[in-house]
Structure 1
Amino acid sequence: MWLTWRTAMERALYGDAGFYARERPSGHFRTSVDTGAPFVDAVLALLLEVDKELGSPALVDFVDIGAGEGRLAAGVLAAVPPSLRSRLRVGAVELAPRPERLPEEIAWHDRVPREITGLVIANEWLDNIPLDVAELAEDGPRLVMVDTETGRERLGDPVGPGDLRWIERWWPLARIGDRAEIGHPRDAAWAGVVSGLTEGRAVALDYAHPVDNRPTGGTVAAYRDGCLVPAVPNGTCDITAHVALDACAEAGRRAGAISTTLSTQRDRLRALGLTAERPPLELAHRDPPGYLRLLARASGEGELIDPYGLGGFGWLSQTVRAG
């Protein structure tokens, strides 16, 4: 069946027989959450920072969007200090059913809640929001159609006026054959997150690229069982594409954000105290178990801030203030 990439991704990921209707993501690809305590501690530090900025209100939210199995939400809940735990409301947003062993205190949502006061994290969520792909032809940009059974592609109709405006602003096409991934569905989704904040901070972490360095061939890819596989949108693999976080940032500003920071995961996590510094070797003689714990911690931090891996992720942080 020939479909546009946006429709094909929607069915392949979220349809009745879609990938996320049947699979837990941890079995197919590794994310920052898989590093365990280092990432949880960094997010907790961020939450404490936001709580302080808000003046330690009576109720503080922590919401994890694209929560998967809820491991980040559960980790933050377990690690939060007593002074905040009594005021903390934790939510996880995911289309899959609630995991059986998730702590009862964590609310499970199938959509982003409104009136949030606190911190919202969207870790590798935007890259799974379906979008269309366009390719520059002799007569202008045309939608790329994909065969859902084989992954073969062909050009379809010219892009519509709204898509064309987005391309011209955020992903200009210079040469015949260049491609753009039309990101306004991600912009709208992120604007919805920001507009749902009464007060606090929204942070998106994802594969990203800037407007002056978009990949000319696009970034649509697929993963299964930890491996990169052909991008066939038939529900058997995760279909993803990198995110134009700068376009999302503009949408967030229009939705009410008063301040915006675009950075890398490496820079942001180093600012939160992650250094990947190895423990002194002499500790291995005095306290072997302690040395191994600290060594594992340093390894996790190193993975998170590796500029050629997770550390190269884009971080978009936007703040909303009440009134």
Structure 2
Amino acid sequence: MVESEALWREALYGPSGFFTRGEVPADHFRTAPLVGPELAEALLVLLDRVDFALGRPDRLDFVDVGAGGGELSATVRSLASGSLAARLVVTAVDLGPARSLPGVRWTSALPSSVCGLLVGHEWLDAVPCPLVTGPASHPWLDRWWPVRPGDRAEVGAPRDAAWADAVSRVRGAALAVDYGHVLADRAAGRYASGTFAAYREGRRVTPVFDGSCDLTAHVALDACAAAAGGDWVLVSQRDALAALGLVGRAPAGGPDWLAAAARASRIAELRAEGGLGSFGWLLHGVGVPVSSLLPPLPPWQP
């Protein structure tokens, strides 16, 4: 188990690793920040709610963990306005080469403290973890992923630890957005083949540990939630975006119809069931009640 995690880590983050040498997700698969500015718009609504709950502090952080090419960070910075923008500090965190983005700080390590909103958008799926084939025994598997003979699984303990560490640095809110699964489905054998996969140039390919492809696996977001503890909710991106005002209804006509229709199409993609809309949003309130950030929503069903 330890060997597979080490190989995965070396392939992504070693001296010649996939991300270390400067590859970005945008070159290999489509992510929500690449669809358009609408995800950043929704996160700014969430950030404003966090800001209000914190009492409008003198400094407000937006921290983008696993920033990739920095698209989300740059868009949040450019769209922020008013008093929030004047107090906003945007930090992109990634192990790849630093990028020059107006108004964005770039770092390879998590800040020691965050007052505002920390977002890990498709970050945890790229945190390497042990790969197993059953029968296998591990305390994490015993609790979170019962493995039967012949089953394959990923031991999510490193993701739990990474997320708990990130949340522990925050005063405000921490949000993980990722594709993943929950215990009920794992226990029912829905993921008996595991979820470890690789992508290169927009195609799914056979995973190899040579640094030539992005290696990823779905995230046990319920386990991450329990590890970080506190006040949290786990909902779908589809529902969360609607609760933040992103519904995407195009007007019937008028001079702005074409632009509005394009925007509605982008929002539809972000909220599509079976696609990006089925991503999980794990939101922790730290010193801020989650109920002040999102209204009650149906629980996430991957």
Superposition TM-score, scaled by structure 1 size: 0.85
Q: Is the 8 A contact 2:248 2:264 kept in 1?
A: yes
In angstroms, what is the RMSD of aligned CA positions? 1.5
Measure, in 2, the Cα distance between the counterparts of 1:25 and 1:317.
Answer: 23
Unaligned runs of 5+ in 2: 289-302
AA aligned to 1:246 is D
Q: Is the 8 A contact 2:91 2:106 kept in 1?
A: yes
Sequence identity (%): 46
Tell me what 1:188 maps to.
161
User: Equivalent residues in 2 for 1:206-217 (5 A)?
Assistant: 206-214=178-186, 215-217=191-193
Unaligned runs of 5+ in 1: 142-158
AA aligned to 2:286 is V
Deviation string, structure 1 residues 26-71 (Cα, Å, up to 9, x no partner): 1111111011211111111111111111111111111000111211
Measure, in 1, the Cα distance between the counterparts of 2:146 and 2:55.
Answer: 43
Tell me what 2:225 maps to.
249
- Give the match's secondary structure for 1:262: strand
Tell me what 1:238 maps to.
214
Tell me what 1:57 maps to.
57
Deviation string, structure 1 residues 81-106 (Cα, Å, up to 9, x no partner): 22111111111101112223x11x32
Q: Using a 3 Å threshold, how does the CA distance of structure 1 residues 49 and 3 change in structure 2: closer, same or farther? A: closer
Measure, in 1, the Cα distance between the counterparts of 2:98 and 2:261.
Answer: 34
Tell me what 2:247 maps to.
275
Tell me what 2:80 maps to.
80
AA aligned to 2:179 is Y
Tell me what 1:13 maps to.
12
Asked if 1:178 is matched to 2:151, the reply is yes
Deviation at 1:180, TM superposition (A): 2.2
AA aligned to 2:12 is L
Tell me what 1:121 maps to.
119
Superposition TM-score, scaled by structure 2 size: 0.90
- Give the match's secondary structure for 2:273: coil
Deviation at 1:321, TM superposition (A): 1.3
Deviation string, structure 1 residues 243-302 (Cα, Å, up to 9, x no partner): 00111001111xxx3x1101111111111111132331x32xxx2xx2221111111101
AA aligned to 2:134 is L
Tell me what 1:145 maps to.
none
Return the structure number with greater strand share. Answer: 1
Tell me what 1:264 maps to.
236
User: Looking at CA atoms only, which structure, 1 or 2, has the larger radius of gyration?
Assistant: 1
- Give the match's secondary structure for 1:217: coil
Aligned mate of 1:219, from 168, 175, 195: 195
Measure, in 1, the Cα distance between the counterparts of 2:238 and 2:2.
Answer: 38
Measure, in 1, the Cα distance between the counterparts of 2:75 and 2:120.
Answer: 16
AA aligned to 1:132 is P
Deviation at 1:179, TM superposition (A): 2.1
Tell me what 1:147 maps to.
none
AA aligned to 1:183 is G
Measure, in 1, the Cα distance between the counterparts of 2:55 and 2:20.
Answer: 40
Q: Is the 8 A contact 2:99 2:106 kept in 1?
A: no
Deviation at 1:231, TM superposition (A): 1.2
Q: Is the 8 A contact 2:118 2:174 kept in 1?
A: yes
